[in-house]
Homo-oligomer: A and B are copies of this chain.
């Protein structure tokens, strides 16, 4: 699970940077940026833990998550110009991050004895709700409600992972396959301008 833990930390780092950049667009000060970064990175898992009743919520028990967010904040502060140029790399890690958060969020929910449909949904919550909170706190209609099929990719990945648990594949493989599928859907969606229909 070491690689998984490392990816979890990297995902947290990238999500925190995305929060910090949003805060900077909104001309927030360092404290506001810290809060938005924290909520973007940890908000999804926090909501999942509160809903399923896993308290104290995960990141309170492992201070590395807090330190990762603080590091991401310092990093955004000193290297903002450089980050802005790295859109592709950021997008890559962000996509790995949501895939991973979706799968791990689902696993945790199943381990609390909840049903697969709920677990798949909690996977998507873990992956995307941080971004939703980021947007609400910055006073804009959440991006995810209007564009990309971000969350749909998470639901697909979590569902696939659940299916794979019934095969003889080793767990790590299932996780990776699910992540790759999330990434694939999302990348294709961005490239081809896919979107979901609304209610006319």
| Residues of B close to A20: CB separation below 8 A | 199
Is there contact, CB below 8 Å, between A117 and B31? no
Specify how many copies of this chain sit in the oligomer.
3
Does A4 interact with chain B (Cβ within 8 Å)?
no
A31 touches B199 (CB 8 A): no
Question: CA separation between A55 and B196, bound complex, in Å?
Answer: 33
A104-140 vs B: 1/0 string, CB under 8 Å?
0000000010110110011000000000100011111
Collect the chain B residues with CB atoms within 8 Å of residue A142's CB. 32, 137
Which of A6-14, A60-68, A91-99, A168-176 contacts the other chain? A60-68
Which A residues form the contact surface with B (CB < 8 A)?
20-21, 23-24, 26-33, 35-36, 46, 50-53, 55-57, 60-61, 63, 66, 76-77, 80, 112, 114-115, 117-118, 121-122, 132, 136-142, 144-147, 149-152, 195-200
Q: List 9 A-B pairs, minimum CB-CB distance, nearest first.
A: A32-B145, A53-B55, A24-B199, A30-B196, A29-B196, A28-B145, A139-B141, A31-B151, A52-B56
